[in-house]
Chains A and B, each alone.
Chain A
Amino acid sequence: GAVVSQHPSWVICKSGTSVKIECRSLDFQATTMFWYRQFPKQSLMLMATSNEGSKATYEQGVEKDKFLINHASLTLSTLTVTSAHPEDSSFYICSARLAGSYNEQFFGPGTRLTVL
């Protein structure tokens, strides 16, 4: 149980295009989902916290107009990288927290974004 999926697992796009990444909790409801960015050989950087039915809370330094987050249901959150540029190339990982649980997250497998 407690499986989180991400789609796509990898994407290559041209500079200036927008890319949407989906994060789904497959067998549980997640009131809160998190979006992370990971640079090569580095730790996870929290980008934003996404709560179902409300606006996402962005970490300092993360542009909310560039990284659009939507959490429309208890099992789906999406991250849209708008007008992507090569510096946005990274590994994006989502995680989901079980409704009613505060101390554990379940991670998706990650999405590798490459912007040409």
Chain B
Amino acid sequence: GNSVTQMEGPVTLSEEAFLTINCTYTATGYPSLFWYVQYPGEGLQLLLKATKADDKGSNKGFEATYRKETTSFHLEKGSVQVSDSAVYFCALSDASGGSYIPTFGRGTSLIVHP
């Protein structure tokens, strides 16, 4: 079956530091990959996505590249801000069973200090 593994948090950084949150996946087909962000007390918001190998998703300074050879989709940002403090979820979706039901990682909490 499909699975997503994220690095455990919390990740604690100072403002303007470089961020990497690792995500690797296992899938039977050719999945689309996603990063979602959840701010405290809120639902999930799509941050970025990539639908095929070597695609790079980017949004709000965050980037992630779909690496099929390493089955990875690591999230990066060059300079984090306090407002980036949130929980980040890596996810995949493919046609397993024809349903495209997504599989989520456990989430990684990011805490950015001023």
Which residues in window 33-81 of B have CB below 8 A to A?
A: 34, 36, 41-46, 49, 51
Q: A42 near B44 (CB under 8 angstroms)?
A: no
Interface residues on B, range: 20 to 34
Q: A107 near B43 (CB under 8 angstroms)?
A: yes
Partner of A43, one of B43, B95, B100, B107: B107
Question: B25 an interface residue at 8 Å Cβ cutoff?
Answer: no
Q: B109 near A41 (CB under 8 angstroms)?
A: yes
Report how far A46 CA is from B51 CA in the complex, Å: 22
Binds B, one of A13-21, A79-87, A97-105: A97-105
Report how far A92 CA is from B43 CA in the complex, Å: 9
Partner of B101, one of A4, A46, A108: A46
Question: A78 an interface residue at 8 Å Cβ cutoff?
Answer: no
B65 to chain A, nearest CB (A): 18
Report how far A65 CA is from B29 CA in the complex, Å: 34
Q: B101 near A49 (CB under 8 angstroms)?
A: yes
Number of CB contacts from chain A to chain B under 8 A? 50
Interface of A is mostly: strand
Report how far A49 CA is from B97 CA in the complex, Å: 13
Interface residues on A, range: 20 to 34
Report how far A44 CA is from B44 CA in the complex, Å: 10
Nearest-neighbor residue (CB-CB) of A105 within chain B = B102
Q: A44 near B89 (CB under 8 angstroms)?
A: yes
Question: A109 an interface residue at 8 Å Cβ cutoff?
Answer: yes
B76 to chain A, nearest CB (A): 21
Nearest-neighbor residue (CB-CB) of B36 within chain A = A107
Q: A110 near B42 (CB under 8 angstroms)?
A: yes
A43-B107, A49-B101 as given contacts; A93 in contact with B89, CB under 8 Å:
no
Q: Which residues of chain B are near A42, meaning CB under 8 Å?
A: 106-107
B39 to chain A, nearest CB (A): 10
A selection of 6 A-B contacts at a CB cut-off of 8 Å is A41-B107, A42-B106, A43-B89, A49-B101, A102-B95, A104-B32
A: residues with CB less than 8 A from B are: 4, 6, 34, 41-44, 46, 49, 93, 95, 97, 102-110, 112
